[in-house]
Amino acid sequence: MTENGDCLYWLARPGQEPAQWTVAIKEGRGREGEFHARSCCEFLRSVLLTGGTESDVFHDFPTEEPHAFVSSSRFV
């Protein structure tokens, strides 16, 4: 959940590996929703860091400012 109340989910289907799950987003203050067919880490990296994914729910992230994203699997 974001500070704006937007919720992120994984749409997990039988027989799919977690990397194949679809990211589903539900707008916190409205009825809008989106689906993105990519892994959660790839979605977050693309929408938050590189600006490579367009989102009507997540918008106005300053991709030009210095920042980084590291998945937790790197620390296991």
Q: Is the pLDDT of residue 75 over 60?
A: no
pLDDT-based confidence at residue 69 (cuts at 50, 70, 90)? low
Q: Which residue has the higher pLDDT, 65 or 41?
A: 41
Q: Is the pLDDT of residue 15 over 90?
A: yes
| Single-letter amino acid code for the residue at 57 | V
Q: What is the mean pLDDT of the chain?
A: 78
pTM (whole model) above 0.75: no
Report CA Rg, the chain.
13
Burial of 47 (0-12, 13-18, 19+ CB in 10 A): buried
Percent of the chain with pLDDT over 70: 76
